[in-house]
């Protein structure tokens, strides 16, 4: 096995673990995250809980995809989503270090995307 292939597998496992763990916390209805959704979107608790459940399910699906079939578009989504959720800490008033410590949440999927190869055309994003 080539070194880049080993690194890719380590990143696949790491990204999948991150998204699976966060997905489970979301599906379980982590109260802090429900509060953030209420604060940012100005919705009631019921709506925020439903949205968080849907986000959790999508995170679990991303985890499975990254582990078993790392499609470039999904990896790009994981990087963007990881950046957004890290940045969200600043938006809701958390210290900057809560943002900084989550750089891996977007850096690991982006690194994996670069290792497997940045797509050269539209169709390659979905291969």
| Consecutive 10-residue averages of pLDDT for the chain (127 residues) | 86 98 98 97 98 98 97 98 96 95 96 96 94
pLDDT at 1: 61
Predicted pLDDT at 104: 95
Cβ neighbours, 10 Å, residue 36: 20
pLDDT score for 101: 95
Residue 126 is predicted with a pLDDT of: 95
Choose among 76, 71, 84: nearest CA to 36. Answer: 84
Query: Residue 53, class by beta-carbon neighbours within 10 Å (0-12 exposed, 13-18 middle, 19+ buried)?
Result: middle
pLDDT of residue 19: 98
Domain spans of the chain, in order of start: 3-126
The span from the CA of 7 to the CA of 124, in Å, is 21
Find the Cα–Cα–Cα–Cα dihedral 96, 87, 104, 66, rounded to 10°.
160
- pTM listed for this prediction: 0.92
């Amino acid at each position: 096995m080539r070194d880049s292939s080993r690194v890719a597998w380590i990143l696949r496992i790491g990204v999948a673990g991150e998204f699976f763990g966060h997905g489970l916390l979301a599906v379980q209805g982590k109260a802090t995250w429900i509060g953030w959704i209420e604060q940012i979107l100005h919705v009631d608790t019921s709506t925020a809980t439903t949205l968080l459940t849907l986000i959790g399910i999508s995170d679990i699906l991303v985890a499975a995809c990254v582990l078993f079939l790392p499609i470039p578009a999904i990896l790009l989504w994981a990087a963007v989503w990881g950046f957004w959720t890290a940045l969200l800490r600043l938006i809701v008033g958390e210290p900057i270090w809560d943002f900084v410590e989550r750089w891996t949440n977007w850096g690991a999927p982006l690194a994996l995307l670069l290792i497997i190869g940045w797509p050269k055309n539209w169709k390659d994003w979905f291969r």
